[in-house]
Amino acid sequence: MFKKVIKKLLTENKKPSSGRQDRQQPVDADLNQVMRELKQHFGQTSDLVLRKLLVGSGTTSALVVYLENMVDLKVVNESIIAKLQVAPAEMMKDIKVLAYSVLAVHKVNLSDDMNQVIQSILEGSTVIFIGGAGRAMIAVNPGYEKRSISSPELEVNVEGPREAFIESRPVNLTMVRRRIKDSNLRFENFTIGTRSNTTVTLGYLQGITDPGIVEEARRRLKSIKIDGFLGMEIIQEYLKDQPLSVFPTIMKTERPEKVAACLLEGRVAIFADGYPYGMVAPITFTHFLQAGDDYYENFYFATFVRWMRILVFITTLTLPSLYVALVTHHWEMMPTSLALSIAGGREGVPFPVLVEALAMEFIFEILREAGVRLPRAVGQAVSIVGTLVIGQSAVQAGLVSPGIVIVVAFTGIASFAIPIYTASIPFRILRFPLMVISSQVGIPGLVAGVLVIWGHMTSLTSFGVPYLAPLMPFQAKDMKDSLFRVPRWAMVTRPQSVPSMDPDRLDVYNVPPGEKNK
């Protein structure tokens, strides 16, 4: 029943909205009529500029239209208006000559569709109408303010590049292009949102990325029918193979070099205007074990750290539940000294261990959320001091035992060691039902819950690629850069789990350096 309701809602969301006019509307040759149409469409907005002027040495009327805070005014004044005013009168007879010979703008398009003209104005272009032409020149010269490139905030590396994506999609595409100087790198634009008209870009490497994956990405992007694009999570919810799963099957990253590496593996990347992230698909769960530092450190150390992250995932998910199961049902499984220590700490605690664990986990999550939402100057201090004060006060008051404070604190710290923030969220959610099951059934309940989660992860796919590859199904060659990180010269093939047109990496060091001269 629940799945039928979700399917009905998704079907309703795919109905086209009436916000965008698909029927072509011709551009009127009369400039006064054009002004009336624009004023009728934009209403009484104060940032719309409609400037009539004489061009062609004063022989022809023209209309320049733009949104004041969306264009580069220097380009408008010097490269458009000034050039048109001094252009020879005979050039005014052919708008194509004006567009390609007079306007000193890097990109100019011609259009006879008023709907396209209006959309171009909204995207930050300057539109020029010439009296009697019946067509418009669209000069692409966006000039709105944007944040400068800074260091990553969520995916922090000790070594490696110090730049992250920003809210400007063209800048983000440039950062990827700088890392992959290949003419086969393709970027395709889509418009999502009948009201917001947000530009979304699909990136891939032609000749490497499987055409089926590219076509599927196109199909899913085109199927998104909403009136407003409010965040990258919207795209994730529409593009996921299993939209109701708690696990992320599309990776969101703020690091350009990570996107470039994924493109070289045959994956696709998605960017959107106004959002400082790129999304990559298809991905597997092992991607969340990898950090940028793995490729700037010794491969032995990188492999050690990856195995440590596996323990971090296990700890984040199961440690509180294991504590609850042992204290509730399995005292005999603990060493005598440890059991006596825990029992002594719980003496006088008025709550069952399950209530104690749930309360401390909720308090820790609240403090974590408070630390994120507060201003940076006080956020860390409040979260750290709050945790220490509340934990110590609760123990001294006899409300909780010291053991549960240690377990919850260690679990929280372990979740911070997960390289990608979104990867820790499913485990933070799932450990609550696991604690409830463990309190009722004990370790058999914990094992059953973990097996259910594992089975669900086994059933997941990302654009058709198994989520737990290369473990299930097992692919030995892909283990070189998943649970292990072998030397770079040993990674001579792309991941087998991702379909690719060119499986060979064609590395310079396709044999160990010491064997090159043999």
pLDDT digit string (tens) for 329-373? 998 888 889 888 888 888 888 889 999 999 888 888 888 887 777
Say whether both 439 and 394 belong to one domain.
Answer: yes
* Cα(118)–Cα(116) distance, integer angstroms: 5
Residue 478 placed within a domain: no
Residue where one domain finishes, among candidates 140, 170, 191: 140
Residue where one domain finishes, among candidates 462, 479, 510: 462
Residue 473 placed within a domain: no
pTM for this predicted structure: 0.82
pLDDT of residue 185: 93
Say whether both 48 and 97 belong to one domain.
Answer: yes
The helix (H) or strand (E) run that includes residue 481 is none
Residue 350 placed within a domain: yes
Helix axes 376-396, 402-416, angle to 10 degrees: 160
Residue where one domain finishes, among candidates 80, 110, 140: 140
Say whether both 428 and 391 belong to one domain.
Answer: yes
Say whether both 454 and 499 belong to one domain.
Answer: no
pLDDT of residue 2: 38
Say whether both 173 and 37 belong to one domain.
Answer: no
Say whether both 399 and 333 belong to one domain.
Answer: yes
**Domain that residue 343 falls in:** 302-462
Number of domains composing the chain: 3
Say whether both 322 and 205 belong to one domain.
Answer: no
Residue 477 placed within a domain: no
pLDDT of residue 474: 87
- Dihedral angle at the C-alpha atoms of 9, 14, 19, 20, nearest 10 degrees? 170
Enumerate residue ranges in the chain where pLDDT < 70: 1-22, 376-388, 506-518
Residue 288 placed within a domain: no
Residue 445 placed within a domain: yes
Residue 7 placed within a domain: no
pLDDT of residue 456: 94
Which pLDDT tens digit goes with each residue over 403-441?
A: 888 898 889 888 888 888 888 899 999 999 999 999 999
Say whether both 114 and 224 belong to one domain.
Answer: no
Report, in angstroms and rounded to the nearest whole number, the Rg of the chain calculated over CA atoms.
Answer: 29
Alpha-carbon 191 to chain mean position = 17
Amino acid letter for position 287: H
pLDDT of residue 398: 80
What are residue 137's DSSP bridge partners? Answer: 110, 128
Residue 290 placed within a domain: no
